[in-house]
Chain A
Amino acid sequence: MEALGLNMGFEETELRLGLPGNRVRSEGEGSRKRGFSETVDLKLNLSSKDTSEKVKSFQKEKHPLPRATDPPAKPPAKTQVVGWPPVRSFRKNMLGVVQKSSGEESDMAGGNNAAFVKVSMDGAPYLRKVDLRMYNTYKDLYDALGKMFSSFTIGNCGSQGMKDFMNESKLMDLLNGSDYVPTYEDKDGDWMLVGDVPWGMFVESCKRLRIVKGTEAIGLGNSKGHGEMQEQKVSSE
């Protein structure tokens, strides 16, 4: 095992990525210098092939970022990126009473630029938070919740479990199936089933989310109006 020298000379502490099992031995000055100049040589290329490929592959969900050499153009689709712009959530929520120039009345909960709600799941040791305005449909929300809580719902990550959680429809099944039911607390403090009301109405009235085990969902109130989306029929009382 290569010992890392105590003097923090660049050469001693340079690490290089070899294949697993290959130890990087110091073959003398030559090899070390090569590693460093490899880095310096990146100056001549605009970007290393490896890097740009990786950037493309994991950024396919977001709008394509213009490269420095491209003529600067506005990205085609405006998707919200988590963490940007760097504004704290309580500031976003506090500014919910945005004064539109028309001076219309807006109550405290309406007109929010963000809608952060806590999400808890029965059996999970900790809460999550989601910004409902990041999603446009119930399916988007379920996808996100499924990803968030999959590490709890899949017990031991044996190879079958691994295949399961990578299978997106399995995630949806978890939420749509009888095992877990998403519920929410609305503005009036009542617990309702998620999915009963149009999406926009849901975002405005949802204060927090709770994913309960299916059996506990029996007896929950149905939507107050006639919702178009009835994902689950549950008998009340």
Chain B
Amino acid sequence: MSYSSLPEDVLEHVFSFVQSDKDRNVISLVCKSWYEIERWCRRRIFVGNCYAVSPRMAIRRFPEVRSVELKGKPHFADFNLVPEGWGGYVYPWIRAMAGGYPWLEELKLKRMVVTDESLELIAKSLKNFKVLVLSSCEGFSTHGLAAIAADCKNLKELDLWESDVEDPSGNWLSKFPDTCTSLVSLNIACLGSEVSFSALERLVVRCPNLRTLRLNRAVPLEKLAHLLRQAPQLVELGTGTYSADLRPDIFSNLAGAFSGCKELKSLSGFWDVVPAYLPAVYSVCSGLTTLNLSYATIQSPDLIKLVSQCPKLQCLWVLDYIEDSGLEALAATCKDLRELRVFPSEPFGDEPNVSLTEQGLVLVSEGCPKLESVLYFCRRMSNDALVTIAKNRPSMIRFRLCIIDPQTPDYLTLEPLDVGFGAIVQHCKDLRRLSLSGLLTDRVFEYIGTYAKKLEMLSVAFAGESDLGLHHVLSGCDSLRKLEIMDCPFGDKALLANAAKLETMRSLWMSSCSVSFEACKLLGQKMPRLNVEVIDESGPPDSRPELPVKKLYIYRTVTGRRIDMPGFVWNVGEDSALRLS
């Protein structure tokens, strides 16, 4: 029996077991009938750049989608490199989906501008809406959240991960009707102002399936115990502020409440933490797999005491207060560790304020056999350390190193760190994401182009010497999807010589480099399936053609230039006339 003679509903049933986008895309290429069957039964789509395709096109091809994930601004927007008003508006998508996907259940947005109007439209039009994740989004207030709370009768998940929410006073939590009992996950950690505690408590009490609760800083520690006793089934908890007057009754109440939470696997929050209250969580430490202490301004000894009790820890986010000694303890205890992120407590200080060096990372790489994902801010590094780390952990997948001072050399030899990062890409054959820092010449890019064949995302700053560096990356990295570069002497030659490569990538960001406006224009004219956008807040870039463009964002798209560009963004495209605001 040949595959092509299988009845449609059998094929559809088989396809339903295939969830990955990549595999689904491959299925759709087999033949026309498989393309047709597949597109009618695809239930989730991921659009990594909201401007790569129009909502209408997406809806037309996949009419029965239940879950949509969209990303908007480029990653460097996180570090204020993208001016406000650049774009990433979700409203056109919501408007299209209100008509095209009336049964949409899930919407996950990252780095997008979401207005209250958008949220109200979701609440009004999508009758089966269940999951809203707004990650690093902005543009909305608690008014919009109130609409979601009030009208989404089957809401399961509301996650405002690290979003910037306007907080006019308003009791939006109490807009959840008494009939709402379906909540499974609520993350309001980013909200700046108080929420009504009684509304929160009532909500928690009537939602027996609540598994994730991330509170905001305004929720006082004295009230946490009370909440926990109402929700002992919680798997993931984010505390509010973790400080209170030192009173034994508060402590014992809190400790007792925590000991009742037998399912707790993830802890976060810990703003303003008072060390004396940390032991209250000790009873749950043995089961913890995720610990986010990145707001906990406590010193190494207290961190060591905590971390030493978490042998099952898989993911730790912490400030550099942990120091090398704390990382040594981590390496000794947490043999299951997969992901480590160490954030800087004083990123703008001139001098190190903590004793955290490359040694800490080396120790963790030695002691934690499953370590695969690292984000590490420090002030010094050596090639030796990087080579050691690379050899210890060839299964590394994400390696993001930020040596705080730009162009810091190997502190032992004063050489560039080319060899160290070269070892990383050579040994870690499955490396998917890499961020470079320190003193780096074109050589490091030669290593990357030669060895980093699975690399999908590369972040570069203050590195390289010439276009050759960029050329190595663009011509060598077969899997590259996202490249973001700031303050590097890369110019026209490498960009133009690798123009076709850009169509195989999601996007390229270059700021404070040496790309000329002429080159941008040429690229835009020759490559109709790329949007070449120049960002310049001081005026039209062709008014000063002798200067390099300040910021450049190039991305592939099937819909041509976008229509929502603000006055400081120029699409340098087919018609060489510039758009002016």
Residues of A participating in the B interface, judged by any CB pair closer than 8 Å: 2, 4, 8, 10, 13-17, 20, 35-36, 38-40, 42-43, 45-48, 50-52, 54-55, 57-59, 65-68, 71-72, 74, 78, 80-92, 94-95, 97-99, 113-114, 116, 125-129, 131, 147-148, 150-152, 156-157, 162, 165-166
Contact = CB atoms under 8 A, between A and B. Distances in A.
Contact of A150 (B407, B461, B538): B538
A120 B164 CA distance: 16
B503 to A, nearest CB: 9
B538 A128 contact: no
B55 interface: no
A16 B494 CA distance: 10
Interface residues of B, number: 79
Nearest to A8: B500
Contacts of A45: 466
Contacts of B471: 39
A165 B497 CA distance: 35
Given A72-B414, A157-B539, A97 B468 contact: no
Contacts of A43: 442, 468
A198 to B, nearest CB: 22
Interface of B: 76, 78-81, 83-85, 162, 164, 190, 271-272, 294-295, 297, 343-348, 350, 377, 402, 404-409, 414, 416, 435, 439, 441-442, 459, 461-462, 465-468, 471, 475, 486-487, 489, 491-494, 496-497, 499-500, 511-512, 514, 516, 518-519, 522-523, 526-527, 537-540, 543, 547-548, 566-568, 580-581
A47 B489 contact: yes
- Chain A residues touching B, majority SS: loop
A15 B81 contact: no
B526 A98 contact: no
Given A39-B471, A39-B494, A157-B580, A4 B81 contact: no
B173 to A, nearest CB: 21
Contacts of B487: 65, 81, 84
B406 A58 contact: no
A151 B492 contact: no
B479 to A, nearest CB: 15
B180 to A, nearest CB: 29
Contacts of A68: 416, 439, 441, 465
B79 A39 contact: no
Contacts of A90: 162, 164, 190
A-B complex: 7 closest residue pairs judged by Cβ atoms: A126-B85, A13-B500, A15-B496, A151-B567, A83-B79, A83-B81, A54-B514
Nearest to B299: A99
B78 A42 contact: no
Contacts of B475: 10
25 contacts: A2-B526, A8-B500, A14-B499, A46-B466, A47-B489, A58-B514, A58-B547, A67-B465, A71-B414, A85-B347, A85-B402, A86-B78, A86-B435, A91-B294, A113-B348, A126-B84, A126-B85, A128-B84, A128-B85, A129-B80, A129-B84, A151-B567, A151-B568, A152-B567, A166-B539
A97 B297 contact: yes
Q: For chain B, what secondary structure do more than half of its interface residues adopt (helix, strand, loop), or is it mixed?
A: loop
B497 A17 contact: no
Nearest to A78: B350
A21 to B, nearest CB: 12
A95 B345 contact: yes
A114 B116 CA distance: 28
Given A151-B539, A151-B581, A97 B272 contact: yes
A17 B402 contact: no
Given A42-B466, A81-B406, A131-B80, 20 more contacts: A15-B496, A17-B522, A20-B518, A43-B442, A43-B468, A47-B465, A54-B489, A54-B548, A55-B489, A58-B514, A58-B548, A72-B408, A90-B162, A98-B297, A125-B85, A128-B83, A148-B83, A152-B567, A157-B539, A165-B538
Contacts of A42: 466-468, 493
A103 B522 CA distance: 58
